[in-house]
Structure 1
Amino acid sequence: MVNTVRTVLGDVPPEELGVCDAHDHLFFASPQLRGQELRDASAARAELAAFRAQGGTGVVQWTPYGLGRRAADLPPLARDTGVHVIAATGLHQAAHYTPELLTELRGKLAEVFVSELTAGIGTSGVRAGLIKVAGGFHALDAHARWTMTAAAEAHHATGAPIAVHLELGTGALDVLDLLCGELGVPPHRVVLGHLNRSPDFVVQREAAEAGAHLAFDGPSRAHHATDWRMPDALRALADAGFGHRLLLGGDTTTAAARSVDGGPGMPYLLRRVRPRLETALGKELVDRILTENPGRAFAAEWR
């Protein structure tokens, strides 16, 4: 079988992704972020167009089940802007959902994931191209273990990659112990998100040595060691032989963070982060991180 990336417009060869934002959101709505929902299709189109104007050609949307994905809106956005878009299935932390919805999903979560990966999300016909789940702060609670167990089952049924939100960048090794150790998911099918938020170079290297992909995603906040520590982290990992496992993303989760609303948004990754990393790491490595690596991380032998 041939590895392909499952976009909202169909499966494409990995190299077609081009310059890719490996973790972001066009649509996102959670009770944890009331009043900052990403729901406006026109704003999403403008954000994608701004990203395209900076040379971007691929975006991986990590918005999972029940958080306002607006899957039917994704294909026209991809066509209109010329940007490949990958949609997600999966389930975030319990705090993002009502207890009633979580109860409704008991006993059928893996089935939901598989259906969205193969038949499509709802009635949209748009097939998800990854499974997104989440850990907790330095630990995995019962909800994380439930969702990751379902994600592993769906991976084994479909071949889909699994992307993991690490809370403040922590718990990476616990996630790998569960997904890859107990549940048998190949490490190269796992993408660990937000490692920039916990600048523990030892943990980062151990995760890379295990075979996972490492995503450094989201611009700096005052309480996160992100942009200013990224060059050191990426250089250390590349020098250790793991340059092929590194990913970069923007992780725009609120309306105020969009570039069209005055925030950094998707273009920031290419407008500011890319040149800074090129100065520190060299253009060749940064080009590979933005182009070759996402195609490798999100491609699968779909079943």
Structure 2
Amino acid sequence: MTAVPTAGGVVDSADLGRTYMHEHIFTLTADVQQNFPEEWGDEETRVADAADKLKALAAQGVRTIVDPTVIGLGRYIPRIQRVAERVPELNIVVATGIYTYESVPHFFTHRGPAVGRPEPMVEMFVRDITEGISGTGVRAGMLKCAIDAQGMTAGVERVMRAVAQAHHRTGTPITVHTHPSSRTGLEVKRVLCDEEGVDPGRVVLGHSGDTTDCDHLAELADAGFVLGMDRFGINLETTFEARADTLVEMCRRGYAGSMVLSQDASCYIDWIEPELMALLPQWHYLHIADEVLPYVRERGVTEEQIETMLVGTPRRVFEG
């Protein structure tokens, strides 16, 4: 058993219950929000709306979500604390790290290795994990980095290696935004695991469900990674059936213990014109329980496999 920090305090890993390993609460462009606050609207209304949506999720039996909102995604922990206080029945694990597909943020360009000094990201991530985030007392329980279609750019590699070093110092698990159609999981293996020595069993390869290539997913699972089947409801370039059938096939092949589930949803995301959200009617917190699980049950996924993906494997990621 392992102590897992959350926005509401420390929880024993044995008490995490059903866990969605990749759900945002607010995904925001911080500079825009600070300088054009009319886009955000009323703070109290936003917080109350988030609390209502998360209460509905908790009513489905979900007890924990991991919110991998970090630098580059608008992380603001005081707001998350306010939401968490209104939904005490749901554990919210927050994250530290940097979200970039190419360069590091300009803050880091002329700091650290570029000028012959230690990597400042490592100390920042470790402080978030061991002391708390920006004076809130809320400690991060997950490390986050990203690699997308651009591949292992110098900036992506720098962040990934800093995440690996922070992991070794703290034991905190890692989630990586990946682009499976570009097979970027293999690049994660090379840098994070083969070169930096991170146990792949402590690494969630996010967005693995964006591909239907089950042979490739099996290759990553056989390497020891946890596959994030975590974008249910985002059905613009794929379909509900394609995502769900991939999950069914992976379970049929015996990989339920290598997968975790989520929707990568947000209470509010400013990346998308609000009217366009109508094109994604299934992209919300309740989609898995309402639609995905009934579909996969009908096609042979067992209750034991579902419990493994929602309870056993998330717990193992945190416990190591």
User: What TM bracket, shorter-length normalisation?
Assistant: 0.7 to 0.9
Partners of 1:8 and 1:258 in 2: how far apart?
A: 28
State the structure with more CA Rg.
2
Give percent identity, aligned residues only.
Answer: 29
The amino acid across from 2:211 in the alignment is: S
Deviation at 1:51, TM superposition (A): 0.8
Alignment partner of 1:56 is 2:65? no
Structure 1 residues 58 and 222: CA distance shift in structure 2, 3 A: closer
In structure 2, which of residues 139, 146, 151 is the aligned counterpart of residue 139 of structure 1?
151
Deviation at 1:105, TM superposition (A): 6.1
CA contact (8 A) 2:221 2:227 kept: yes
The amino acid across from 1:241 in the alignment is: G
Structure 1: stretches of 5+ with no match in the other structure: none
Deviation at 1:29, TM superposition (A): 1.1
Partner of residue 30, structure 1:
29
Partner of residue 270, structure 1:
289
Aligned positions, number: 297
Partners of 2:181 and 2:318 in 1: how far apart?
A: 20
Partners of 1:298 and 1:224 in 2: how far apart?
A: 32
Partners of 1:287 and 1:33 in 2: how far apart?
A: 41
Structure 1 residues 224 and 168: CA distance shift in structure 2, 3 A: farther
Structure 1 residues 101 and 262: CA distance shift in structure 2, 3 A: farther
CA contact (8 A) 1:135 1:164 kept: yes
The amino acid across from 1:124 in the alignment is: T
Question: Deviation per CA, 1:138-176, whole angstroms, max 9, x where unpaired?
Answer: 621111100100000000000011100013654111111
CA contact (8 A) 2:101 2:147 kept: no
Say which SS state the counterpart of residue 74 (structure 1) adopts: helix
Deviation at 1:225, TM superposition (A): 3.0
CA contact (8 A) 2:244 2:292 kept: no
Deviation at 1:31, TM superposition (A): 7.1
Partners of 2:291 and 2:190 in 1: how far apart?
A: 35
The amino acid across from 2:286 in the alignment is: P
Alignment partner of 1:111 is 2:123? yes
Say which SS state the counterpart of residue 163 (structure 1) adopts: strand
Deviation at 1:231, TM superposition (A): 3.7
Quote the RMSD (CA, aligned, Å): 3.0
In structure 2, which of residues 161, 175, 178 is the aligned counterpart of residue 166 of structure 1?
178
Partners of 2:53 and 2:154 in 1: how far apart?
A: 36
Higher relative contact order (CA 8 A, sep 6+): 1
Structure 2: stretches of 5+ with no match in the other structure: 113-118
- Which runs of structure 2 are paired with 1:1-303 in the superposition (5 Å)? 2-30=1-29, 40-81=46-87, 82-94=89-101, 99-103=105-109, 106=112, 107-137=119-149, 139-167=151-179, 170=182, 171-225=184-238, 227-253=240-266, 254=269, 256=274, 264-280=283-299, 281-299=301-319
Deviation at 1:212, TM superposition (A): 0.8
The amino acid across from 1:269 in the alignment is: I
The amino acid across from 2:191 in the alignment is: L
Say which SS state the counterpart of residue 247 (structure 1) adopts: strand
Say which SS state the counterpart of residue 152 (structure 1) adopts: helix
Say which SS state the counterpart of residue 254 (structure 2) adopts: helix
Partners of 2:122 and 2:161 in 1: how far apart?
A: 8
Partners of 2:319 and 2:80 in 1: how far apart?
A: 19
Partners of 1:71 and 1:181 in 2: how far apart?
A: 33
Structure 1 residues 80 and 32: CA distance shift in structure 2, 3 A: closer
TM-score of the aligned structures, taking structure 2 as reference length: 0.82
Question: Deviation per CA, 1:191-239, whole angstroms, max 9, x where unpaired?
Answer: 0010111222121001100111101112344443353123433333334
Say which SS state the counterpart of residue 122 (structure 1) adopts: coil
Partners of 2:133 and 2:292 in 1: how far apart?
A: 33
Partners of 1:239 and 1:56 in 2: how far apart?
A: 24
